[in-house]
Amino acid sequence: GRRVTTRDLLAAKQRGERWAMLTAYDARIAGVFDEAGIPVLLVGDSAADNHLGYDNTVPVTMDELLVLVKAVVRGTRRSLVVADLPFGSYQVSVAQALENATRFLKEGGAQAVKLEGGHRVLPQVEAMVEAGIPVMAHIGLTPQSVHVLGGYRVQGRGPEAAEQLLRDAKALEEAGAFAVVLELVPAELAQRITESLSIPTIGIGAGPHCDAQVLVWGDMAGLTPGKTPKFVKQYADVRSVLLGAARRFAEEVRDGVYPGEEHSYH
């Protein structure tokens, strides 16, 4: 089988079919999601906190993400792999955006890139699409702007903010984006945007009316420690499973139970 394409995603919207996207940061986990039939995998800059141990997404670099993009591409056969342009890799100029997006496709092997922002990134989106690079947009809460937004809170509340988000979404579609992530926006607004666009919307904390839904894989699988946001549904308890396995292994080594005769060579 071939990989999923951006055309497949547009066709799914026309048929009214919903789909799921997950983040992935390494080949092994990506391979599991590929086998599960997840059509789109995002090598998110959320790798910063979820994979590389940073406090937020601001510090992660192109070079760091490129390693992960290559791994996810190598680990998958069917999923469309989207590489997330990190903070500072596309804001400086259209030329900078083109250069870095090109690296993700050419060196990384990704099939598309993602960037954050509305009106301010339209020139970048147009130029990338023109150059043959499929672009996923991302509006609402844009974590790379956390220091301007002053925290992680719901966006697009109130009529003016809502109209601005709708205008941004339409302008991004017009500029050639193949999909738009809506993060932390009221469900009613996400529905309005979804109905106003012919490209798919991908919700995260944006209610049930989007064409697709995305979650950070560690949140979805219960690997993330501590309290997760209200919008997260935890489908497994991977952290407990690993914690138990590591504790039992250590205990069996201490007690001389492992390795046993059956694990030994003579």
CA-CA distance, 181 to 203, in Å (whole number)? Answer: 6
Using alpha carbons, select from 21, 113, 125 the residue that is nearest to residue 65. 113
Q: Which two tokens stand for residue 182?
A: 């809506």
Amino acid identity, position 114 = K
Q: Give which of ligand KIV, Na ion, none residue 135 binds (C-beta under 5 to 8 Å, depending on kind).
A: none
99 is catalytic: no
For ligand KIV, give the closer residue by CB, 34 or 116. 116
C-beta of 76: minimal distance to ligand KIV in Å?
A: 17
Q: Does 45 bind Na ion (CB under 5 A)?
A: yes
**In angstroms, rounded to a whole number, what is the distance separating the alpha carbons of residues 51 and 25?**
7
| Minimum CB distance to ligand KIV smaller for 70 or for 138 | 138
- Helix, strand, or coil here: 253? helix
Which one of residues 40, 68, 204, 206 is an interface residue with ligand KIV (CB under 6 A)? Answer: 204
The verdict on whether residue 168 carries a ligand-binding annotation is no
Least Å from the CB of residue 78 to Na ion = 22
Q: Identify the active-site residue in 183, 188, 252, 261.
A: 183
For residue 84, state whether it binds Na ion (rule: CB under 5 A): yes
Strands 40-43 and 19-23: parallel
Residue 43's alpha-carbon distances to 2, 63, 175, 210, in angstroms, are 20, 13, 23, 21
Q: Is 119 left (phi over 0), alpha (psi -120 to 50) or beta?
A: alpha
**Binding of residue 44 to Na ion (CB under 5 A):** yes
The CA distance from 183 to 190, in Å, is: 9
230 vs 148: CA distance, rounded Å: 23
Nearer to ligand KIV, 40 or 105 (CB): 40
Q: Is 252 annotated as a binding residue?
A: no
Site for ligand KIV in 178-197 (CB under 6 A): 181
Q: Which stretch binds ligand KIV (CB under 6 A): 42-50, 121-129, 230-238, 258-266?
A: 42-50
Q: Residue 202, SS3?
A: strand
45 binds ligand KIV (CB under 6 A): yes
* List 9, 19, 22, 23, residue binding ligand KIV (CB under 6 A): 23
Q: Which residues bind ligand KIV (CB under 6 A)?
A: 23, 42, 44-46, 84, 138, 181, 204, 214, 216
Q: Which residues bind Na ion (CB under 5 A)?
A: 44-45, 84
Enzyme catalytic residues:
183
